[in-house]
């Protein structure tokens, strides 16, 4: 089985003092799993101030950590399953897909199968030979929309580099609580929540993050917004939307309260208070083709659940203005 090198050099903020090294690395390394990190530490591939430590070692802060590891580039499962997604574009170098809400991207402890990766391997078995089945960026389970998949090793390296250096443009449509009447740009840093491990939050010692929110259409107490990613941190748009006090409809994890205007229709009440996911859709993506160098642009239409939400909000606004 062949492997790919994984390297990282990190400075541990003082705020992590007293935490286990394996947990600290799990927060700081977005692209590595807890099991990988533990194996790297045990094998001596991780050093703290040039010393090998145990996974249980508790950091002091201000230490320098070096990771010089290897990871398998072949997936260690062979489950190929028919999982719903739409192919938007495909050639021998790249695949662009449209993911529906409710589909987990990568298998994990709570989702061993039925994931997008399983479906991709069923569609293209050769993707099992690539890191993360060729997926070069992420979408949350309940976020719908466009996702790029590299289909060979050169494309993986090219696209990962393009994303890291902000040469991939990613736009999202979202519906937020509150009236956003001006462009909002936030560069608040994002890190793992110290208690709720599946959540992120704004924190001074977090990783650099940049999101720009452009209002598209205002309703009585809600706004349709175009969110542009400058970086790609986990839950970035959701965290930043909450931080600037415009949480995304349906996103109770990040501050959605189900607010409503006065005298709403029953349909609007049900939609806003029971929206089954965060109203967030990866609508547009632009990148350079890894082989031809051609500029590639793709758009995904608004999914039915979000379109219904927008239609009902629009009807509520127009009825109020006509009264």
CA 169 to chain CA centroid, Å, is 14
Q: How confident is the model at residue 86 (pLDDT cuts 50, 70, 90)?
A: very high
- In sequence order, the 6+-apart residues with CB closer than 8 A to the CB of 238 are 140, 248, 251, 253, 254, 278, 280
Burial degree of 304 (CB within 10 A; 0-12, 13-18, 19+) = exposed
* pLDDT surpasses 50 at 304: yes
Among 228, 183, 235, 193, which residue's Cα sits nearest to residue 210?
228
Phi, then psi, of 6 in degrees rounded to 5: -130, 120
Q: What is the DSSP string of 296-309?
A: EEEE-PPPHHHHHH
- Between the alpha carbon of residue 241 and those of residues 50, 219, 236, 246, 320, the distances in Å are 40, 17, 8, 5, 27
Contact at 8 Å (CB) between 45 and 65? no
The sign of the dihedral angle between the CA atoms of 192, 193, 194, 196 is negative
Among 316, 322, 232, which residue's Cα sits nearest to residue 282?
232
| CA–CA gap between residue 5 and residue 16 (Å, rounded) | 27
Q: Which token pair is 273?
A: 């208070």
Contact at 8 Å (CB) between 216 and 225? yes
Pairing state of beta strands 280-288 and 144-150?
Answer: parallel
SS3 6: strand
Q: What is the mean pLDDT of residues 279-290?
A: 98
Number of other CB atoms surrounding residue 176 within 10 Å: 27
Q: How confident is the model at residue 23 (pLDDT cuts 50, 70, 90)?
A: confident
Active site residue 318: no
SS3 186: strand
CA-only gyration radius of the chain, Å: 21
Q: What is the mean pLDDT of residues 14-18?
A: 86
Q: Which token pair is 84?
A: 């719903």
SS3 251: coil
Query: What does the mean pLDDT of the chain come to?
Result: 90
Q: Which of 22, 140, 171, 284 is catalytic?
A: 140
Strand partners, 218: 223
Three-point CA angle 211, 215, 217, nearest 5°: 150
What pLDDT, on the 0 to 100 scale, is given for residue 1? 43
Q: What is the mean pLDDT of residues 32-56?
A: 85
In this predicted structure, which of 4-13, 14-23, 53-62, 101-110 has the lowest mean pLDDT?
Answer: 101-110
Residue whose entry in the numeric block shows the structure tokens 């039915």: 304
Please, what are the domains in the chain? Answer: 3-72 (3.10.290.10), 86-165 (3.30.2350.10), 170-283+303-322 (3.30.2350.10)
- In sequence order, the 6+-apart residues with CB closer than 8 A to the CB of 258 are 272, 273
Q: Which token pair is 195?
A: 């208690």
Q: Could you tell me what percent of the chain has a pLDDT over 90?
A: 61
Q: At what angle do helices 21-28 and 34-42 cross, to 10 degrees?
A: 130
Reported as a single tens digit per residue, the pLDDT across 201-260 is: 999 888 899 999 999 999 999 999 999 999 988 899 999 999 999 999 999 999 999 999
- pTM (2 d.p.): 0.80
What pLDDT, on the 0 to 100 scale, is given for residue 82? 74
């Amino acid at each position: 089985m062949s492997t790919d090198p994984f390297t990282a050099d990190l400075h541990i903020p003082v705020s992590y003092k007293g935490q286990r090294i394996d947990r600290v690395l799990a927060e700081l390394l977005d692209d590595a799993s807890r099991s990988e990190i533990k194996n790297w530490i045990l094998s001596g591939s991780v050093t703290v101030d040039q010393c090998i430590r145990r996974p249980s070692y508790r950091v002091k802060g201000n230490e320098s950590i070096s990771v010089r590891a290897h990871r398998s580039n072949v997936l260690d499962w062979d489950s190929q399953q028919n999982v719903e997604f739409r192919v938007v574009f495909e050639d021998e170098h790249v695949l662009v897909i449209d993911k529906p809400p409710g589909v987990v991207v990568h298998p994990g402890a709570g989702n061993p199968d039925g994931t997008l990766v399983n479906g991709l391997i069923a569609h293209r078995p050769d993707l099992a030979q690539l890191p993360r089945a060729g997926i070069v960026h992420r979408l949350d389970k309940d976020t719908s929309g466009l996702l790029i998949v590299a289909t060979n090793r050169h494309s993986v390296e090219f696209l990962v580099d393009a994303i890291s250096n902000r040469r991939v443009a990613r736009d999202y449509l979202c519906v937020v609580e509150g009236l956003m009447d001006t462009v909002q740009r936030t560069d608040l840093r994002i890190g793992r929540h110290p208690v709720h491990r599946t959540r992120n939050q704004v924190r001074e010692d977090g990783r650099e993050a940049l999101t720009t929110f452009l209002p598209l259409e205002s309703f009585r107490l809600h706004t349709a917004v175009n969110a542009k990613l400058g970086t790609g941190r986990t839950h970035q748009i959701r965290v930043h939307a909450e931080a600037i006090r415009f949480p995304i409809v349906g996103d109770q994890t990040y501050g959605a309260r189900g607010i409503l205007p006065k005298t709403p229709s029953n349909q609007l009440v049900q939609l806003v208070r029971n929206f089954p996911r965060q109203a967030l859709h990866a609508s547009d993506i632009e990148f350079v083709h890894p082989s031809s160098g051609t500029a590639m642009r793709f758009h995904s239409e608004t999914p039915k659940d979000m379109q219904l939400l927008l239609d009902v909000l629009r009807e509520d606004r127009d009825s109020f203005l006509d009264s």
